[in-house]
């Protein structure tokens, strides 16, 4: 990464690292499109009123204005930079519903901005990759299943290491709380969501203080949160804990999570665990909730999260339920690049550096380069006829693998400056090995 940052919280990459980032983005795009998700880009700016619909991060929003802005009229909306892709997407759906075919499937990879305190893994400007499926009035539960499977396949395609999708269903948690007589379920969900950060003793205390739980109810809520299974046996554990008085909502949550885990184990085996401590603190989640841990990088927290929402987007009586997941691309990349687990084989796209015998040869050298380019081989031409040794050193310093020579009779040779081998070639037919055509992504555990 660029080693000198004049502003903290903003990531700038060196060229080889940018190739690694582009590889990640292209891989995500390919997987998303293979499953029928359409690309979408929304504006960077929203009204403050729109962004504050999410409520709890108002202190992190960056407001924007002109340096020489005149006094704003009362009718003008205050503007701010988006802090995620979900809220702008909800606004986009309501404004363009007449032009969309539902269920609408989209992916969106864009930068967002938050006024956070910069620290490891936390940035003020960062990229997120989102996928959502949104319905008009209703959305089948199968969409929850599909979107989690798609994201698991996207993470597998990145080959970034072992990861686990931790899945739960808020209907299950909320239904359990109702079954045991705990009525302030939103508060209980927010408290349980902090279990890993503050520990069970503090969670029990906060359940009593903020959710009105008795000591027995707090203990039962903690026991529920400690259930983790890699199969569907979680359902029997929950029923045993709930006793013979399960609420209908609890049964619905059990059924949905059982279906989700069954499909995940069939389609992306070994990637998911039913973890009933996962709650997601945001109130708009209504069913499936997901967090993802990257093994060896647990300090990053969840690298991919999201879930089901029934009414994040609405227009009058028309409601657009949806389910979505988001990858924190910048957080993930910064960790993998810093640790050396993800890198690029070179920092330039150039495959061939075409040398000059004299400055008069620049035009013919461009003709050679154009022949190569037309066949998909990236080529650069020297800007001046320095000694061949200097031209070769320049190509080597740039990380260009091949150097091209043309003699006074128009005969061509190409040199692989890594091995030193040199051969006679024809610019209309020569091609390098496939792996040299583009910078290759290097993974620490796999090599090239």
Give the Cα-Cα-Cα angle 259, 264, 269 (nearest 5 degrees).
140
The tens digit of pLDDT for each residue in 89-127 reads: 999 999 999 999 999 999 999 999 998 777 776 899 999
The tens digit of pLDDT for each residue in 148-198 reads: 999 999 999 999 999 999 999 999 999 999 999 999 998 999 999 889 889
Share of the chain above pLDDT 90, in %: 80
Binding residues for L-histidine: 84-86, 114, 128, 132, 280, 284-285
**With 60 as the cut, is the pLDDT of residue 55 above it?**
no
pLDDT band at 74 (very low <50, low <70, confident <90, very high): low
Note the pLDDT of residue 24: 96
Nearest alpha-carbon partner for 260 in 369, 252, 15, 359: 252
Using an 8 Å Cβ cutoff, are 179 and 247 in contact?
yes
Domains of the chain: 15-43+86-344 (3.30.930.10), 352-443 (3.40.50.800)
Note the pLDDT of residue 243: 84
Share of the chain above pLDDT 70, in %: 94
| 262: Cα separation from own chain's centroid | 25
**With 70 as the cut, is the pLDDT of residue 448 above it?**
no
Binding residues: 84-86, 114, 128, 132, 280, 284-285
Beta strands in 244-332 (DSSP E): 272-275, 285-294, 304-315, 318-328
Least confident among 2-11, 122-131, 274-283, 320-329: 2-11
- Tell me the three state secondary structure of residue 278: coil
Note the pLDDT of residue 60: 84
Note the pLDDT of residue 447: 44
What average pLDDT does range 231-246 have in this prediction? 90
What secondary structure letter does DSSP report for 299?
G
**With 70 as the cut, is the pLDDT of residue 4 above it?**
no
Residue 265 CB: number of other CB atoms within 10 A? 15
Note the pLDDT of residue 154: 97
The tens digit of pLDDT for each residue in 393-447 reads: 999 999 999 999 999 999 999 999 999 999 999 999 999 999 999 999 998 755 4
Note the pLDDT of residue 1: 59
Mean pLDDT of the chain: 92
pLDDT band at 72 (very low <50, low <70, confident <90, very high): low
- Cβ-count burial 217-240 (b if 16+ within 10 Å, e if not): bbebbbebbebeebebebbebbee
């Amino acid at each position: 990464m660029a080693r000198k940052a004049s502003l903290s919280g903003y990531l700038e990459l060196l060229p080889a690292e940018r190739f690694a980032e582009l590889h990640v983005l292209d891989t995500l795009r390919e997987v998303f499109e293979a499953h029928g998700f359409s690309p979408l880009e929304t504006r960077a700016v929203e009204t403050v009123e729109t962004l504050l619909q999410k409520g709890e991060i108002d202190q992190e929003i960056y407001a924007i204005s002109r340096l020489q802005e005149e006094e704003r009229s009362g009718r003008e909306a205050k503007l701010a930079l988006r802090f995620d892709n979900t809220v702008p997407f909800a606004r986009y759906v309501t404004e363009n519903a007449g032009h969309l075919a539902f269920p609408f499937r989209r992916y969106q990879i864009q930068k967002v901005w938050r006024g956070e305190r910069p620290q490891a893994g936390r940035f003020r400007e960062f990229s997120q990759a989102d996928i959502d499926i949104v319905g008009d009035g209703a959305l089948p539960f199968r969409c929850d299943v599909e979107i989690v499977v798609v994201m698991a396949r996207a993470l597998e395609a990145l080959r970034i290491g072992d990861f686990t999708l931790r899945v739960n269903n808020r209907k299950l948690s909320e239904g359990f709380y109702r079954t045991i007589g705990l009525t302030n379920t939103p508060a209980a969900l927010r408290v349980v969501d902090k279990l890993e950060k503050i520990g069970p003793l503090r969670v029990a205390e906060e359940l009593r203080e903020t959710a009105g739980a008795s000591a027995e109810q707090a203990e039962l809520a903690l026991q529920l949160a400690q259930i983790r299974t890699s199969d569907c046996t979680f359902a029997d554990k929950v029923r045993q804990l709930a006793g013979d008085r399960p609420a209908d909502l609890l049964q619905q949550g059990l059924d949905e999570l059982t279906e989700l885990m069954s499909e995940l184990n069939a389609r992306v085996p070994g990637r998911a665990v039913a973890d009933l401590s996962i709650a997601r603190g945001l109130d708009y989640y209504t069913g499936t909730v997901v967090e993802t841990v990257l093994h060896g990088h647990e300090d990053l927290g969840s690298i991919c999260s999201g879930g089901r929402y029934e009414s994040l987007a609405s227009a009058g009586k028309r409601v657009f339920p949806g389910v979505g997941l988001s990858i924190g691309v910048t957080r993930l990349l910064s960790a993998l690049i810093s640790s050396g687990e993800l890198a690029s084989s070179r920092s330039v796209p150039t495959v061939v550096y075409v040398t000059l015998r004299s400055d008069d040869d620049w035009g013919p050298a461009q003709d050679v380069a154009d022949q190569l380019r037309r066949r998909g081989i990236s080529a650069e031409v020297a800007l001046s006829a320095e000694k061949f040794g200097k031209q070769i050193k320049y190509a080597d310093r740039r990380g260009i693998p091949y150097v091209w020579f043309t003699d006074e009779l128009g005969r061509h040779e190409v040199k692989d400056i890594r091995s030193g081998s040199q051969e006679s070639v024809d610019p209309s037919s020569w091609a390098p090995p496939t792996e040299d055509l583009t910078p290759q992504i290097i993974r620490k555990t796999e090599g090239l």
